[in-house]
Amino acid sequence: MSMDIVIAGFGTVGQGVAEAIGLRKDMIRETFGREARIVAAFDSRSAIHSEDGLDPAVLLSNKAAGQVGDEPLVDGVAFLESIDYDVLVEVSPTNIETGGAGLHHIRSALSNGRHVVTVNKGPLALAFGELDRLAKENGVEMRYEGSVGGAMPIINLCRESLMGQNITSVMGILNGTCNFILSRMDDGLPFEQALKEAQELGYAETDPSYDINGVDTACKVVILANSVFGIDCDYDDVDVSGITAITEEAVAMASDQNYCIRLIGEISPDRLEVSPRLISKGHPLSVTGTLNVAQVNTDLAGPISISGRGAGRMETASAILSDLLAIMRSNVNNK
């Protein structure tokens, strides 16, 4: 018996998922007595499918040569509805305006009784309530740990490890690109030079607007608000300010007072906000570089901090693998 997986989107993260499944296949078999098989994958142009399972190494080789499969892809939803599988791993490009193809893929999977694991922030930021209801109505799981902090397990921490706590708020640095830029400004670089360095190192896109305008962080605020606090909200409910107006003088003035400036996402029952904040040096949220960090404030345990790499091929794939194994464990236990 196996858990059959489809990977929708075969860019950097999709390739990382295939590699991670290949690396952990023996551990999965020994732990669960089942195989985790990739039975299909598709990118924007092509698809590949085999009921007998696909070798992750072959998928990676195919992609390196240009495209993941030799079957032209016309419609991702039609392809999904033509094959049999258990779990959709949705890692197609994020579109915050419409939800993109990923929203249609996830709707299709949940409506047809398939589990979903995703790191695609667009569908979750725009239609979380709808997708959550679809999952519950069809008796399947939708998991999305890697959508907020990459390898930082903030959602599972709040929903599972802190289940007995009353969580009053979550505050954190949820975008490594902005944190890198602000860290370099701490060293005296002007904003434009710090941004250019981030782009040269691959931390920022050619068009960095989602990051530096706070859009990416706001999407993550929405996901945490819905999943941790049960607030039925979307992107438009978040007050958002980015980091483009922060000057060298402001950073230097903060440093003179033993503070640094960081872009903070805050989630509580009465506040959804993304904004630059003064953080005292030495505080858990005063980290440097590309790290993500969050502070969860609880009534019984007090503040709990967690950090980790917020992006990267294998870092994000590790969060997806964790969600896949959680679904496998749940199904084994239920049976």
Q: State the Cα–Cα distance between residues 275 and 163, nearest whole angstrom.
A: 28
User: What size, in residues, is the chain?
Assistant: 335
Residue 333 makes CB contacts below 8 A (sequence gap 6+) with none
Q: Rounded CA gap, 38 and 31, in Å?
A: 18
Spatial CB neighbours of 129, under 8 Å, sequence gap ≥ 6: 226, 232
* 220 a catalytic residue: yes
Tokens of 210: 């989602």
Q: 46 near 70, Cβ under 8 Å?
A: yes
**CB contact burial 258-283 (16+ within 10 A = b; e otherwise):** ebbbbbbbbbbeeebbbebbebeeee
Residue 99, SS3?
A: coil
Given the residues 25, 136, 220, 335, the one annotated as active site: 220
Contact call for residues 315 and 135 (beta carbons, < 8 A)? no
Catalytic residues: 220
